[in-house]
Amino acid sequence: MRKILFLCCICLLSITNILSQDEHFTRYDFTPTFFNPANTGNFYGSYRIGVLYREQARTWFKAEDQGSINPDTNQPFFKPVSSTYTTPTLFIDANFGLGFSAGDWSSFGLTMLSDKSGDGALSNSSYMLNAAYHWSLNKKERNVLTLGAQYGRNSIAVDGNNLNTETEFLNQVLDPLQLGVDGKSEFNASYSDLNVGVTLVSKIGKTSKLELGAAFGHLLPSSFEIQNDSIANIENDIDPRINVNARLRFLATDGIALEPVIYYSKAGGASNLQIQFNSAFRLNENSAFTAGLGYRLGDAAQILVGMNYDLWKVGIGYDMTVSSAADANSSVGGYELGISRIIFRNKKPQIDPILLCPKL
């Protein structure tokens, strides 16, 4: 009975809560501009492109067959059903030598995200344009302050044909949740979005670097309403979001680098604290093996592995659920795969033409 009540709460609350929440990741290093727009252009190179794919499986419980009743509990028999949550992201950014003073530069980019929850019943897509300006606070560029901004559109869609109320689970009768006007089972909404951020990167000594960042998301007031024939209309407000991060990179010994990281997010009444400790082991001049451990407070333990080869970077993340949600997903959290590449643009030298006298 506890599983039935848990499932009913998920059906009713998923629309009101999930639609107003943002995605979270384990490998934020493969989607830096999503976490903070000031990370646009925060790399050494001309262009950068990266993708991150997250898959998170949930196991629910569904009635097996109509009329199949457990005589001991007088309740329907239930069987586990896996429902997958997928979130692919893509970002592209580039650096340009546009600045008010020597050592400054500008950056522009694009961040895209597509999130599908539970067989595609809930989906969210985002397309954001990024811009950032980097101030060099001293001549040697040991301290760089960056201001960044994002602007774009977010779209939300719900397919009521794939969402069922508690009637299906209690009475084993298909009862799709009717959304939209006149009982339609589809719902779509979109809104403009604005995010801003700031970062400070400071070189400490010869082999250490400190990075601090803060971002403020959903600065444009946005809300939408879901009209439901089964229950009262649901008003959804997009809560402002605050992201804060701190990262310290330092060379522990020759060939071994360590990197403790802290990510913190807060939106509405929800907060998320993530602590990671990463390491890199140099294999040769062009490659390094990376590994780390992390913990998302009250949610999941994290394992991170990867490889850096020349200008390529590959990483894998795994979340193992340690909260009470482990009863629903059998402790299987999320998997992530990230790939990024930095490209250098080689400028052709401009040579002034030399006119030779034909008489010589």
Q: How far apart are CA 69 and CA 74, in angstroms?
A: 6
Placement of tokens 């490209």 in the chain: 343
Quote the pTM value.
0.79
* Cα–chain center distance at 294: 16
pLDDT at residue number 120: 53
pLDDT at residue number 5: 37
pLDDT at residue number 56: 84
Q: How far apart are CA 51 and CA 343, in angstroms?
A: 15
Give every CB contact of residue 215 below 8 A, 6+ residues apart in sequence.
Answer: 35, 36, 37, 38, 195, 196, 197, 198, 241, 242, 243, 244
Q: Tell me whether strands 234-237 and 241-253 are parallel, antiparallel or unpaired.
A: unpaired
- Tell me which H or E stretch contains 257: strand 256-267
Q: Give me the tens of pLDDT residue by residue for the chain, a chain 360 residues long.
A: 444 333 334 343 343 444 445 778 999 999 999 999 999 999 999 999 999 999 987 555 555 544 555 566 666 555 555 567 889 999 999 999 899 988 899 999 999 999 987 655 678 899 999 999 999 998 777 899 999 999 999 998 877 665 554 444 444 444 445 554 445 556 778 889 999 999 999 999 889 999 999 999 999 987 666 655 554 455 667 889 999 999 999 999 999 999 999 999 999 888 999 999 999 999 999 999 999 999 999 889 999 999 999 999 999 999 998 876 666 556 677 899 999 999 998 765 555 555 545 444
pLDDT at residue number 322: 86
User: Count of alpha carbons within 13 Å of 7, Cβ hemisphere only?
Assistant: 25
pLDDT at residue number 172: 44
pLDDT at residue number 175: 47
* Cα–chain center distance at 198: 18
Q: How far apart are CA 330 and CA 129, in angstroms?
A: 38
Q: What are phi and psi of 88, to 5 degrees?
A: -90, 140
- Cα angle at 283 between 277 and 287, to 5 degrees? 85
Q: How far apart are CA 63 and CA 81, in angstroms?
A: 10
Residue type, 209: K
Residue type, 212: L
Across the chain, which distance is largest between two alpha carbons, in Å? 112
pLDDT at residue number 351: 53
306, 299 Cβ separation under 8 angstroms = no
Give every CB contact of residue 2 below 8 A, 6+ residues apart in sequence.
Answer: none
Q: How far apart are CA 224 and CA 316, in angstroms?
A: 36
Domains of the chain: 2-343 (2.40.160.40)
Q: How far apart are CA 282 and CA 167, in angstroms?
A: 58
Q: How far apart are CA 46 and CA 221, in angstroms?
A: 35
